[in-house]
């Protein structure tokens, strides 16, 4: 898949990358908070990308109704992205991907052992 735009406008905000939550000290609440916020931002971006890929696939199937073979690249890209998103989600929580509170507590329990 190729992006629709080559250049992005100046108002697209880019955040600096912070250490992941496993690189933070257990008593460094600010680091844990920033890592948590970064994870939630990354998850939101991944969800939006997945939504865009799904819309592209649906549009292609709708426009190219009898010729589904033209839409196979869109379907493969969506299925790969969805598999990666769900694998990332399943790594943290079996039920859903809302781990904003669970992950820091889990980290503290594993580092204490």
Residue 77, in any domain of the structure: yes
Residue 22, in any domain of the structure: no
Region 90-103: mean pLDDT is 54
Residue 17, in any domain of the structure: no
Q: Structurally, how many domains does the chain consist of?
A: 1
Give the tens place of pLDDT for each residue, 16-33. Answer: 888 887 888 888 888 888
Query: Global pTM?
Result: 0.68
Work out the percent of the chain whose per-residue pLDDT is above 70: 67
Q: Domain containing 48: what range?
A: 28-112
Work out the percent of the chain whose per-residue pLDDT is above 90: 17
**If 0-12 CB within 10 Å is exposed, 13-18 middle and 19+ buried, where does residue 78 land?**
buried
């Amino acid at each position: 898949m190729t992006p629709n735009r080559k250049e992005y406008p100046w108002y697209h905000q880019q955040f600096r990358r912070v250490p992941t939550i496993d690189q933070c000290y257990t008593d460094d609440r600010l680091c844990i908070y920033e890592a948590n916020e970064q994870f939630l931002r990354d998850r939101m971006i991944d969800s939006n990308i997945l939504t865009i890929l799904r819309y592209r696939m649906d549009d292609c199937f709708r426009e190219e109704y009898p010729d589904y073979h033209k839409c196979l690249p869109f379907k493969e890209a969506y299925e790969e992205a969805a598999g990666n998103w769900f694998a990332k989600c399943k790594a943290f929580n079996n039920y859903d991907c809302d781990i904003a509170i669970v992950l820091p507590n889990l980290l503290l329990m594993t580092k204490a052992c």
